Amino acid sequence: MILSSWNVNSVRARIENILTYLRSSEPDILMMQEIKTEEKNFPFKEFKNAGYNSYVLGQKSYNGVAFLSKKKLENIELNFFNDERKQARMLVGNLKIKAKTIKLINIYVPNGNPIETDKYIYKKNWLNLLIKQLKRTIVDYNNIIIGGDFNIIPDQIDVYDYKKYENDALFKLEIRKKFRELINLGFQDIYRYFNKDKQDYTFWYYMANAWQKNHGMRIDHFLVSNNLLNNIKNININKKPRSKLKPSDHAPIELEII
């Protein structure tokens, strides 16, 4: 099966691109971030007609996460932890594959810029709460996949010019240490697991011809429990949607599970 994650940068503004992607790539599950709409305005019907059930945690104009799934998801959690700002940034559900139950955690981590503001403090606090809750969760669940827009550049290889981002909330050392702390709970950054030295990106700004110049960064990730590694066949960054008209500034990442 294919599990995909994509920051769509407004589900209503990108609806045609999303439907095209669903038809061409046929993911079994799509984890979307930054849907930028409340549930009442979410295009449930369009996705149902495409063969997908929708599970949504929305917010007006900002944030918002959703699952589109051909398979039924269970135990949907809208409040994985207590977000101090009550922003729609995380949606959790259980997926049953054969004899395994996999907990899927769909996240949209705060950006955190500018670093001299409370936005950066919020990002650090949010990551600390995530780590704290995951420590509780792994007691009961051995199989976890965390996917989404982490707004974290893990290492120098993951951005076209790391020196430009040394004081950016996406690349500051203490934020990268939080990413490492997540991994050390018992996960693998699955893209880097399969691609030790490959430099590739999931996000390109709309400005300054960043897409055309390939001035990008890898900030969208799948973290996979160590004991699921034998079930992962491949990880792919699908850049085709980024080249379309009116694209999201992110590309989907696709995880193939056997």
Q: Contact, 89 vs 109, CB < 8 A? A: yes
Which of 39, 25, 113, 100 has the alpha carbon at shortest distance from 70?
Answer: 25
> What confidence score (pLDDT) does residue 209 get?
96
Q: At what angle do helices 173-183 and 118-140 cross, to 10 degrees?
A: 10
What percent of the chain stands above pLDDT 70? 100
Collect the ranges in the chain with pLDDT lower than 50. none
Query: Degrees (nearest 5) of the Cα angle 187, 148, 90?
Result: 95
Count of residues in the chain:
258
Residue 241, phi then psi, degrees to nearest 5: -60, -25
Token look-up 């697991």 returns 193
Q: Tokens for 101?
A: 């139950």
Share of the chain above pLDDT 90, in %: 97
Question: Which fold, 2-257?
Answer: Deoxyribonuclease I; Chain A (3.60.10)
Q: Could you give the CA distance from residue 73 to residue 22 in angstroms, rounded to a whole number?
A: 18
Which pair of tokens denotes residue 189?
């950054």
Structure tokens, 58: 């929305």
Query: What is the SS3 assignment for 106-171?
Result: EEECCCCCCCCCHHHHHHHHHHHHHHHHHHHHHHHCCCEEEEEECCCCCCHHHECCHHHHCCCCCC
Residue 168: both structure tokens together? 């950016």
d(CA 56, CA 41): 11
Q: How far is CA 177 from CA 107, 119, 125, 171, 254, in A?
A: 18, 18, 14, 10, 25
Q: What is the pLDDT of residue 96?
A: 92
pLDDT confidence of residue 16: 97
| Residue range 172-185, pLDDT digits in tens | 999 999 999 999 99
Q: pTM for the full model?
A: 0.97
138's tokens? 């792994």
Q: Which of 122, 6, 129, 20 is nearest to 64 (CA)?
A: 6
Extents of the domains making up the chain: 2-257
